[in-house]
Amino acid sequence: MITNLDMLFVGVGGQGVLTASDIAAQVGLDLGLDAKKSEVHGFAQRGGVVDSHVRWAPAVGSPTCEKGTVDVLMAFELLEAGRWVDWLRPGGMIVVNRQQITPMSVSIANAVYPDEAALLAALRGRASKVVVVDALPLAEEAGNTRTVNTIMLAALSTLLETDAEVWETAILRRVPQRYADVNREAFRLGRAAAG
Amino acid sequence: MKVLLSGNEAIALGAWEAGIQYASAYPGTPSTEILENFARYPGIRAEWASNEKVALDNAVGAAFGGARTLAAMKHVGVNVAADSLMSVSYTGVKGALILVSADDPGCLSSQNEQDNRQYARFGKFPCIDPADSDEARRFVGIAVDVSEQFRTPVMLRTTTRLSHSKSAVEARVPDAREFKPLSPFDREDGLDRTILPEVARRRHPEIEARLNAIAEWSATEGFDCGVNRIEWGETDIGIVTSGITYQYVRELAGHKSILKLGMSYPLPLDRIREFAESVDTLIVVEELDPFIEEQIRAAGIVVAHGKDVIPICGELTLAAVRQGLYEAGLLAAPLEQPAPFEDVTVPRRPPALCPGCPHRAFFYNLRRHKRKAVLAGDIGCYSMGAMPPYEAMDMVISMGASIGMAHGFARAGGQESAIATIGDSTFFHSGMAPLASAVYNRSNIAVAILDNRITAMTGQQQNPGTGITLQGEQGHEIDIAMVCRAMGVTFVEEVNAWDVNAVNKVLRDALAHEDGPAVVVVRGACVFTPHFHLQPKMHVDLAKCVTCGSCFRVGCPAIIKSDEIYPTSGKQKAAVDPLLCTGCTVCMQVCPVQAIGPAEREGSLQEAL
């Protein structure tokens, strides 16, 4: 039974990071805990880095986590896991999507997108467990590329060994009715991939 | 049942519950969602005003008539509204007047991190600072009571971290409510709404007395209603704190005694003195300015630590407060930080104009004028024109400043041409007055109005240029070109935002114009509006690409490097990310070797879509 959990959701604007973190916070409430979540939108969100904090506890104080204390890092984009991994506590866990979204510093300047194998190896050196999810093809298989966030939540629900139904219900309550089936399928695929 | 609401959603709910019947705002991060949410409640009227001063004036008029009102804006918006704010404090109000100031410590989406609690002291009205969504909701009601009891405007101050964090609030389904018109206007209600010098002189001492009375309220009823409270713990250390900062203090030092001030101005100084005398050491923990600390010290209360250990700059975090409390001797050790992640170099990911953005072709062209022109920019998505690959902006200071800056530069004898860049919503906000001034004083500046048919940066709000109101009704749509012509601008041209050559030509013509300001209205709908239509996605024919870099210089996130190398240059050829491409064709238009075209040309349209 989880009583305290700090999660950091990171990715790129447009990936559904904020919606996913909303749902994760709601699941905290549904599990009988207090929950808070915090994000910043506006200027940075335009194709930039997005980060959203989700905290579960009997009574949450700060809506943001503290660097070096995060239990689970949810990286919706591969290199973003590297940018944010120093927020993880020793022994924390990572769920990382293999999807790569090229930053402008790579396409219009001389920065280099990190090598996947090297990055994943480095992440493994920092975490007790790294779950690698290939969420984009799974989302396509489910029928809509915008279900990447549902796939990621499915993987998280598996990692946390929490009641899958609570998550699925929270997701379906949040997404538009006409996308219920495709999200149900995405959730199933995400669970299977992370299991 | 509890639900998670953001601070802004909670303020909207609290406003509705407190009987606010009219609210007005200009969008501005982090305040925008307050009105967007309030607008959905029954029995109220909510509007976007053309700027923050108009929003406040609207609310003042309504409050003068007896309505409970609210005006919401970001911190720098209060600067725009300040003229009226200072005077309405003198006149006082009949119905409640709540000014929501959404401050942005850390400049997460702003040009400065001014601490608007200072306005409360400056303008002599109370400031209320909630610490979570539940308080945000309840404190609106308290603010309404204080406003009506003392006939004063009340600032409800939030910060980005409060506005955009969600915390649990008891759910409420709003019941039906009819909009209540005002009672007949009563000239004999004792309120002097005409702030002539004689009235102001008479009112000033009354305002000073009002402030003392509110401080007394804060010391008594303020504690009874819970806007201020003391959480007793160990008494070796007592901490005075306020707003969202309370959350960090509670989490790190919840075992110590905490005086939480929900009203940060005026202060209940005698109660603070009592608290200080009940603890061995007093620490003040607050974000930004030493606002509370300085007042406490000025009252002769000994403060052991404040801004000597808590940063004055930037947003406070658990880490910053932890470090401060450690330096103050309250915490035994700082948190051990894991080593920085240096195993892999992580490239930066700066914000960028979206794929398909109607500003792209303009900035692609504008950068070509950099050598001969000085570029005055403004506040909006197009502020990103200052960043690579465009770097086409030499000055930006505030909303609506571009045209005035360009004019001043030209009239002071600037050697270069001056081009002002301003958005549609910003033009209505504060671009019309400087344009009138430039026409009147006859400067030959070029003004580009980037009309993307929405207020985009703050999340797609309607404005006078779209003619749709906040509550989804048809208002009047104001034609920007017609406004400029009516002012006497003799060169007014509209151009399709995605037509690279047409934008370039009209810019050149505008710069050549020598009969007062020349206005170019660059029209194209933001990709997030229903007016924007996806077109067949672009595709790079790798056989033709010569790695000239032209397409990369349009600065589109959908243009990426392919794995194929062009032998002559040794560089990676371009490719289009089909997930991101909207088919706007700007990259196709700038490609000198026709290597880019709709994906269907390659027979793979199906795949690309």
pLDDT digits (tens, 9 = 90+) for B357-397: 999 999 999 999 988 999 999 999 999 999 999 999 999 99
Q: How far is B311 from chain A (nearest CA, A)?
A: 17
pLDDT band of residue B607 (cuts 50, 70, 90) is very low
* The pLDDT of residue B609: 39
Dump pLDDT digits (tens) for A85-121.
999 999 999 999 999 999 999 998 889 999 999 999 9
Q: Which residues of chain A lie closer than 8 angstroms to B248, CB-CB?
A: 61-62
Q: Which residues of chain A lie closer than 8 angstroms to B322, CB-CB?
A: 66
Determine whether the interchain pair A26/B457 forms a contact, defined as Cβ–Cβ distance below 8 Å.
Answer: no
Contacts of residue B290, defined as CB under 8 A and 6 or more positions apart, other chains included, come to: B284, B306, B307, B312
Determine whether the interchain pair A39/B579 forms a contact, defined as Cβ–Cβ distance below 8 Å.
Answer: no
pLDDT band of residue B184 (cuts 50, 70, 90) is very high
Whether the predicted pLDDT of B604 surpasses 60 = no
Mean pLDDT of chain B: 96
- Whole domain around residue A146: which residue ranges? 5-102+130-194
Chain A residue with the nearest C-alpha to that of B562: A107
* The pLDDT of residue A109: 86
CATH code of the domain containing A74: 3.40.920.10
Q: How far is B314 from chain A (nearest CA, A)?
A: 15
* Integer Cα distance of B128 and B142 in angstroms: 9
Mean pLDDT value across residues B583-596: 98
What percent of chain B clears pLDDT 90, i.e. is strictly above it?
95
Q: Which residues of chain B lie closer than 8 angstroms to A145, CB-CB?
A: 579
* The pLDDT of residue B606: 43
The ipTM of this complex is 0.96
Say whether B487 sits in a helix, a strand or coil.
helix
* Integer Cα distance of B493 and B532 in angstroms: 22
Chain B residue with the nearest C-alpha to that of A57: B251
* The pLDDT of residue B336: 83
Whether the predicted pLDDT of B191 surpasses 60 = yes
* The pLDDT of residue B603: 46
Determine whether the interchain pair B338/A82 forms a contact, defined as Cβ–Cβ distance below 8 Å.
Answer: no
* Assigned fold of B225-327: Rossmann fold (3.40.50)
Q: In the structure, how many helices (H) and strands (E) does chain B have?
A: 21, 22
Mean pLDDT value across residues A114-135: 97
Rounded (5°) CA angle B476-B466-B177:
70
pLDDT band of residue A48 (cuts 50, 70, 90) is confident
* Assigned fold of B2-179: Rossmann fold (3.40.50)
* The pLDDT of residue B605: 42
DSSP B179: P
Q: Which residues of chain A lie closer than 8 angstroms to B555, CB-CB?
A: 104, 108
Chain B residue with the nearest C-alpha to that of A88: B338
* The pLDDT of residue B600: 67
Determine whether the interchain pair B337/A25 forms a contact, defined as Cβ–Cβ distance below 8 Å.
Answer: no
* Integer Cα distance of A170 and A179 in angstroms: 14
Determine whether the interchain pair B335/A69 forms a contact, defined as Cβ–Cβ distance below 8 Å.
Answer: yes
* Integer Cα distance of B504 and B510 in angstroms: 10
Dump pLDDT digits (tens) for B15-69.
999 999 999 999 999 999 999 999 999 999 999 999 999 999 999 999 999 999 9
Backbone conformation region of residue B398, classed left if phi is above 0, alpha if psi is from -120 to 50, else beta: beta
pLDDT band of residue B188 (cuts 50, 70, 90) is very high
Determine whether the interchain pair B250/A111 forms a contact, defined as Cβ–Cβ distance below 8 Å.
Answer: no
Determine whether the interchain pair A42/B251 forms a contact, defined as Cβ–Cβ distance below 8 Å.
Answer: no
Whether the predicted pLDDT of A78 surpasses 80 = yes
* A35 assigned to some structural domain: yes
What letter represents residue A133's amino acid? V
Task: Using CB atoms, pick whichever of B165, B317, B349 lies closest to residue A36.
Answer: B165
Q: Where are the domains of chain B?
A: 2-179, 225-327, 360-523, 538-608
Beta bridge partners of residue B229, listed in sequence order: B260
What percent of chain B clears pLDDT 70, i.e. is strictly above it?
98
* Integer Cα distance of B68 and B192 in angstroms: 18
Mean pLDDT value across residues B454-469: 95
Q: Which residues of chain B lie closer than 8 angstroms to A122, CB-CB?
A: 341, 343-344
* The pLDDT of residue B45: 98
Whether the predicted pLDDT of A42 surpasses 90 = no
* The pLDDT of residue A14: 86
Q: In the structure, how many helices (H) and strands (E) does chain A have?
A: 8, 6
Determine whether the interchain pair B348/A114 forms a contact, defined as Cβ–Cβ distance below 8 Å.
Answer: no
* The pLDDT of residue B20: 98
Tokens 């690698």 appear where? A132
Q: Which residues of chain B lie closer than 8 angstroms to A80, CB-CB?
A: 349
Handedness of CA B213, B214, B216, B222 (dihedral sign): positive
Phi, psi of B386, deg, nearest 5: -75, -15
Q: Which residues of chain B lie closer than 8 angstroms to A36, CB-CB?
A: 4, 132, 165-168
Dump pLDDT digits (tens) for B400-448.
999 999 999 999 999 999 999 999 999 999 999 999 999 999 999 999 9
Determine whether the interchain pair A26/B354 forms a contact, defined as Cβ–Cβ distance below 8 Å.
Answer: no
Q: Which of A12, A30, A55, A66 to mutate to test the interface with B (most CBs of B within 10 A)?
A: A66
Dump pLDDT digits (tens) for B111-121.
999 999 999 99
Whether the predicted pLDDT of A192 surpasses 70 = yes
Is there a shared CATH topology between the B2-179 domain and the B538-608 domain? no
Distances (CA, A) of B384 to B291, B350, B393, B557: 33, 10, 9, 13
* A114 assigned to some structural domain: no
Determine whether the interchain pair A38/B553 forms a contact, defined as Cβ–Cβ distance below 8 Å.
Answer: no
* The pLDDT of residue B213: 98
When divided into structural domains, chain A yields a total of 1
* The pLDDT of residue B599: 86
Determine whether the interchain pair A68/B335 forms a contact, defined as Cβ–Cβ distance below 8 Å.
Answer: yes
* CATH code linked to domain B538-608: 3.30.70.20
Dump pLDDT digits (tens) for B550-580.
999 999 999 999 999 999 999 999 999 999 9
* The pLDDT of residue A43: 61
Dump pLDDT digits (tens) for B482-540.
999 999 999 999 999 999 999 999 999 999 999 999 999 999 999 999 999 999 999 99
State both tokens at B580: 């991101």
Whether the predicted pLDDT of A74 surpasses 90 = yes
* A108 assigned to some structural domain: no
* Integer Cα distance of B306 and B248 in angstroms: 15
pLDDT band of residue A46 (cuts 50, 70, 90) is low
Determine whether the interchain pair B166/A83 forms a contact, defined as Cβ–Cβ distance below 8 Å.
Answer: no
* CATH code linked to domain B360-523: 3.40.50.970
Task: Using CB atoms, pick whichever of A103, A109, A118 lies closest to residue B344.
Answer: A118
Tokens 């403060």 appear where? B303
